[in-house]
Amino acid sequence: MPRCSSCGAFTDDPVEEDNGRTVTVLCQMCAAESALKRDLPLRVDDLVPKTFWEKIKARWRGLFGR
């Protein structure tokens, strides 16, 4: 189980950030904080895991462009 480079917490779902020099492994909360610091648009949907049906709908839209 990887460890967050920022807060040191163990995480099941790490986010890797590559800044060109190093690859940083962050937990979901630290990744959200990092995105806010970089002033990237951040939505609640990015933090909440998608349901099974939302994943199927997204795949359908990706395949057929709807």
Q: Indicate whether 9 belongs to any domain.
A: no
- pTM, entire model: 0.55
DSSP structural state of residue 49: P
Contacts by residues 26-34 (CB-CB < 8 Å, ≥ 24 positions apart): 30/4, 30/5, 30/6, 33/6, 34/6
Is 34 or 39 the better-scoring residue by pLDDT? 34
Q: Which domain holds residue 34?
A: 15-64
Domain count of the fold of the chain:
1
Mean predicted lDDT score pLDDT of the chain: 85
**Band of pLDDT at residue 41, cut at 50, 70 and 90:** confident
d(CA 12, CA 22): 21
Percentage of residues in the chain having pLDDT higher than 70:
95
pLDDT at 66: 61
Q: Indicate whether 34 belongs to any domain.
A: yes
Q: Indicate whether 27 belongs to any domain.
A: yes
